[in-house]
Chains A and B, each alone.
Chain A
Amino acid sequence: MSVFRHLRPYYGPYRLTLVLGIVSMALLTAVGLLRPFLVQQLIDRVITQGRYDLLPLLAAAVIGVALVRGVFNFGRQYFGELFGQNAVLELRNALYVKLQYLGFAYYDKAQTGNLMSRLTGDVEAFRMFLSFGIIYLCDFAFMIGFGLAAMLAISPELTLVTFAVSPYLAYVSYRFDRLVRPTFSRIRKALSDLTTTIQESISGVRTVKSFAREAHEIDKFEQRNLDYRDRNLDASRLWARYFPLLEMGGNLATALLLWYGGRLVAAGEISLGSLVAFFSLVGYMVWPIRELGWILNLYSQSVAAGERLVEVLHAPETVTNRQGAVPLGRARGHVRFEGVSFAYDGQNPVLQDIHLDAPPGSTIALVGTTGAGKSTLVSLIPRFYDVTAGRVLVDGYDVRDLELESLRRNIGFVLQETFLFSASVRENIAYGRPDASMDEIVAAARRAQAHDFIMELPRGYDTVVGERGLGLSGGQKQRIAIARALLMDPPILILDDATASVDMETEQKIQRALAEVMKGRTTFVIAHRISMLQQADEILVLDRGRIVERGRHEELLRRGGFYRRVYDIQFRDAAAAPVVSANGRYGRAPGKVLPLKPGREGSS
């Protein structure tokens, strides 16, 4: 029940709606049980006693009962649904709000598919119980209570006889319920396996076809396909076994009634009308008993689903505003790391004792192998994570003392993996500043070298891109992401491998673009190519979370360490190229072009 307590803030305010639904249901059931009595009156009073004057009244009563029932029937469906929908609307809002604020640490571990199944399947399971489950559960009680009362009013003896089968029914539905749950979970599992297999072979179709492995994929698929079919057949076998057993319960009750009630009628102990009324009552009552398994199943599923929802809603937000956090206006852009260490899991350090000082307007470049900690380091500045030890300062403030939103507004981040939303190019660029004017958007796009290709898109800036829109190449996406960051006009700019997935031609363009926008901003650049790094005010070489070399390009070359090796490897390539720029600063066209002899190895 604690699930319902935790989720109470979302459905609690609407409990009045639920009460109306339950009251409607009670009245619906009560009025419905009048119908057998009308039949009884018809047979016993009108027909047997010849009171034909009662007929118009009786016929009117039949229609009247249907009318009244209609109103309550509508009421219980409508209010039930309203209650469920209201609660789910609030629940969805709450989940969405929570998801917007959960930190990077949460998403590092969470899988999109898993979260989605909570937001869709689990929310739906919970709604089902709120919309129908509760009311049906109440109806079960009403039906048994009112029905029993009605039966007892007609004949206590027959009531006892009829209820003789209820232990049997209860047992059979309990058994069925026990078996059906694992069967359905096996079906779901088989379906998810099947889906994964299909998804994989479609995503990897180029690899499949390149190796001519279609037959292999079909085999893999067919196994899952057969498994899914068989699990479904298991379920129908189970149903085929239990359906007759369940139905037979109702039939047994009716047969008992016929057999025993017939004697009573023959002996003149009860009237024929009473017996016929009893038949109808049994017919009405068998149904909720048979459905009880289903309703209980709804309940247990909603509890399980609710638990998973509570898990999301109660997930700790690791990065939050401190009491009395200071709002940061427009920053000057002075970034300092003082003895910073960081571990994702709190144990295995990814960064150790990092010191750095980036005065406003400077450029810091980070190099190192995959996993050296470069991305982690820069993600500490906007507080995507909080340091484990030491502190990160922006304009002299510990970032943890700053209001989070105001800190992040001062930082433009081009993430390693470009993500564009299903929105127009314009809206994507304006993502961080939805109020930006068209001129500002175009200016940002121009500076990111994106304007030209955007104008060639079918609808220019209004072309919809992203998951449900037009496909763009990696380089194009990356340039839109850069424009998005530039539009923020941030004092601090972070480029996490911003040119990772573009070819050299585009990389050149982007580099030229970046050189200009980096002016007057504190910039952190992560890159592999020397050309991106060499103009930095300070280059940091990271290895396993520590800074192992630092200095300007020339200093590091002289030192002959890791940076020198990287340089040599890349330069060996370059030496074969026919040109050398005299002193190619970012964005400046080479002053003089000197051809090198082909095949010459490294000029150092």
Chain B
Amino acid sequence: MSRLWVERGVYRPRPARGLAGLPVPEIPEVSRGRFNIRDEDPVEAPFNWRQFRRLLGYLRPYRLHVAGAVVLMLVTAATRLAVPYLLKLAIDQVLDPSGPGALLPPAERLRLINLYGAAFLGINAVGLLAARGRILLSARVGQQALHDMRRQLFTHIQRLGFDFYDRRPVGKILVRLTNDVNALQDLLQNGLVNTISDLFMLLGIVGMMFYLHPGLAAATLVVLPALVILSTRLRRRIRRAWQAVRAKLANINAHLNESIQGIRVTQAFVQERNNIRFFRGMNHDNWRSWMAAAKASALFGPAVELTGAVGTAMVFWYGAHLLRTGALLVGDIVAFNTYVGQFWEPISRLGQFYTQLLVAMASSERIFEFLDARPDVADAPGARNMPPIQGRVRFEHVHFAYEPGRPVLHDIDFEVEPGQTIALVGHTGSGKTTITALLSRFYDPTEGRILIDGIDIRTVRLQSLRSQMAVVLQDTFLFQGTVADNIRYGRLDATDEEVEAAARAACAHDFIMAMENGYQTEVRERGSRLSIGQRQLISFARAFLADPRILILDEATSSIDTQTELLIQEALRRLLKGRTAFVVAHRLSTIRSADRILVLDHGRIVESGTHDELYARRGVYYRLLQAQYRHLAAPGGD
């Protein structure tokens, strides 16, 4: 292994000698499984007509365009059929020295030659104009349909609940909206129109051949079965081989991505060499599958050409014999020869169409899976708008389970007065966050109900409910854009002054002004230099701007540097004032200042009261604080 490079970071190929002394890449040592690489077996599901019909539904609004494209395509195909026939006429009537043309006066022959030249140009011009129109029409149809599908898909997943997102990594969702939709482009834009025209073209060619001479046509077409078998059998082998290549390549890319993201770990643990050994094995695998596919593909062209040549030989031989008997003219033979040459193209495209269809069906199946996902939480029929919220919240014997049979909350029952701050306290997994998620109706209770100002939240429109509440999450998500844009997310129509006022209230103004472009500094989801604490202040500013009647706050658990910590405490105090607030609390200062503390244990409220009351009771709360905060105590009574 070490002989492969002379220095760190420099790799020098050492090709081995392969077959006939050709240089081939050295076969790497077998590497042990080091990372989890799953080879997905290419599976071909049976063709699903219902799904296909559903897919065609996206073309329905543009059926006139589609019809227009088909008509234009047929015009082009017709002109392509006409050209060999025109050539035949030119040869037989004018050019053939042994034909009738030879007897015409020279001036008449020249006139006819000019005529055929002009007709040839004219027919082609019509065909090309039609092709131009067809390209424009099918592009419009295809792009519009893809656009519609993308919009439908995006709008739909925006409506889906957290359970949808909980189960899927971002990358997977993204790939469906981009790659899977784009994979339908070939089919929707050109595939269908081309297929219709190809079928027409095939029929046309066969028709023309039979029209010219049925016997010769039949003789030429004996190769047809061979062509059909070729285009299905060999194509299937090729398709599978390329599927294998794609899977290997996907693995390589996934590993590359991961190895870049984990590079610091790799270098800290001095694993460069082990990784390189692993990658070389993977890379060589990919090379092998690629060459197998290339070999299969390279057989296709020759096989087809050979079959075609048999047809051509037939035209030569049998055609010449027919000519001798006078049953055929020279022009017929030339035309036949051209038609045989043209025959292959539509057959090949029809073979491709089938592959295209399979790819499209696989993609559309994934797309429809998303479209068929039903949101767990949706507006009830006849839901009305939530009137302005006062802030009285009541949980009435609420039970909840994410999965049936595994309850997370049992009989939660409490009432909160407007303006109160409620601290939710308990071990990880005791159900604190679930309670807040139910309140914003990200999930619906399995049993019981939740009332705000006496109204069951399931009877109002989601939008009207959530727009009067704000949730501050543990980890603040920043959108690409400026700091000001990010704060403005709390209220889209806020003025710059309002944004700044909110930032000041959230104690975020000072550090924002210290950034190079102040409020206009560009931030990004990752890679921004904002600390976790600073990001939380920005989300506080968002909440100030939204000015919600009910605030839900999931305190960050991360340790935050102490200066920022102080700012957060101050901002929090201001933010909680005058609103009903639920805080999943980790800071003792927050817990202590709450109007009421709900202590949760395994999905039940086990204690409820103020800090002083609960402390005096020496129960669960007391023990919880004891467990969590003893380390903060001062040593030696300094």
Contacts and interface: CB of A to CB of B under 8 A. Distances in A.
A469 B257 CA distance: 15
Contacts of B124: 247-248, 251, 255
Interface in B444-470: 462-463, 466-467, 469-470
B400 to A, nearest CB: 18
Contacts of A182: none
A243 B135 CA distance: 9
Contact of A276 (B128, B263, B334): B334
Given A99-B263, A505-B427, A528 B13 contact: no
A209 B272 CA distance: 42
B263 A100 contact: yes
A413 B265 CA distance: 8
A233 B139 contact: yes
Interface in A442-490: 464, 466-469, 484, 488
A277 B86 CA distance: 17
B22 A107 contact: no
Contacts of B5: 97
Nearest to A98: B9
Nearest to B633: A580
B462 to A, nearest CB: 7
Chain B CB within 10 Å, residue with most, of A248, A265, A508: A265
Contacts of A546: none
Contact of B114 (A60, A259, A574, A576): A259
A107 B262 CA distance: 11
A498 to B, nearest CB: 10
Given A243-B135, A408-B268, A590-B630, A266 B561 contact: no
Contacts of A258: 87, 90, 113, 116-117, 120
A553 B106 CA distance: 116
Interface in B479-532: 479-480, 489-490, 492, 525, 527, 529, 531-532
A243 B301 contact: no
B30 interface: no
Contacts of A507: 559
Interface string B111-152: 001101110110011001101110110011001101100110
B636 interface: yes
Chain A CB within 10 Å, residue with most, of B94, B269, B492, B636: B269
A384 interface: yes
Contacts of A469: 36
B426 to A, nearest CB: 10
A116 B257 contact: yes
Contact of B628 (A210, A508, A584): A508
B612 to A, nearest CB: 6
Nearest to A104: B264
B144 A229 contact: yes
A579 B626 contact: yes
Given A9-B12, A62-B316, A603-B634, A501 B36 contact: no
Interface stretch (B95-103, B196-204, B594-602): B95-103
B274 interface: yes
A395 interface: no
Interface in A491-547: 497, 499-508, 511, 527-531, 534
B270 interface: yes
Interface stretch (A134-142, A145-153, A163-171, A215-223): A215-223
A581 B563 CA distance: 26
B266 interface: yes
Given A89-B25, A104-B264, A216-B492, A240 B136 contact: yes
Interface stretch (B54-62, B209-217, B290-298, B344-352): B290-298
B178 interface: yes
Interface stretch (A200-208, A285-293, A344-352): A200-208
B606 interface: no
Given A100-B9, A112-B261, A565-B562, A266 B113 contact: yes
Interface in A100-117: 100-104, 107, 111-112, 115-116
Contacts of A198: 154, 174, 177-178
B293 to A, nearest CB: 9
B24 interface: yes
Contacts of A422: 35-37, 254, 258
Contact of A225 (B151, B283, B297, B628): B151
Given A98-B9, A573-B587, A574-B629, A240 B132 contact: yes
Given A116-B260, A198-B174, A320-B8, A203 B635 contact: no
Given A16-B23, A119-B256, A198-B177, A432 B271 contact: yes
Contacts of A529: 559, 631-632
B513 to A, nearest CB: 16
Given A266-B106, A599-B592, A63 B309 contact: yes
Nearest to A562: B562
Given A47-B330, A573-B629, A212 B463 contact: yes
A4 B333 CA distance: 50
Contacts of B313: 59-60, 62-63
B276 interface: yes
Chain A CB within 10 Å, residue with most, of B9, B114, B132, B291: B9
B301 A196 contact: no
Contacts of A384: 264, 267-268
Given A78-B298, A577-B632, A214 B309 contact: no
B588 interface: yes
Interface stretch (B43-51, B158-166, B389-397): B158-166
Contacts of B616: 598
Contact of B174 (A202, A411, A419, A584): A202
B117 A17 contact: no
Chain B CB within 10 Å, residue with most, of A81, A195, A211, A431: A211
A397 interface: no
Given A77-B297, A266-B95, A565-B562, A423 B34 contact: yes
A332 interface: no
Contacts of B637: 603
Interface stretch (B234-242, B317-325, B354-362, B416-424): B317-325
B530 to A, nearest CB: 9
B402 interface: no
B559 A574 contact: no
Interface string B1-44: 00001001111110100000011110000001111111000000
Nearest to B38: A468
Nearest to A194: B178
A74 B24 contact: no
B52 interface: no
Given A203-B525, A217-B158, A569-B562, A503 B428 contact: yes
Contact of A580 (B290, B469, B562, B634): B634
A39 B23 contact: no
A570 B562 contact: yes
A522 B188 CA distance: 65
B132 A501 contact: no
Contacts of B268: 382, 384, 408, 411, 413, 415
Contacts of B627: 505, 508
Contact of B257 (A66, A112, A212, A577): A112
A252 B128 CA distance: 13
Interface in B541-568: 542, 546, 552, 557-566
A118 B633 CA distance: 54
Given A213-B492, A244-B131, A421-B265, 11 more contacts: A60-B313, A86-B25, A232-B143, A266-B106, A272-B330, A370-B533, A409-B270, A421-B262, A423-B34, A531-B631, A599-B612
25 contacts: A13-B13, A86-B15, A112-B260, A119-B253, A120-B256, A199-B174, A203-B525, A204-B479, A207-B477, A210-B471, A222-B151, A244-B132, A259-B113, A272-B96, A370-B561, A384-B267, A413-B268, A434-B34, A504-B629, A507-B559, A554-B636, A573-B629, A577-B628, A578-B629, A581-B631
Report, nearest first, the 5 A-B pairs whose CB atoms are least far apart: A574-B632, A70-B302, A236-B139, A66-B309, A577-B629
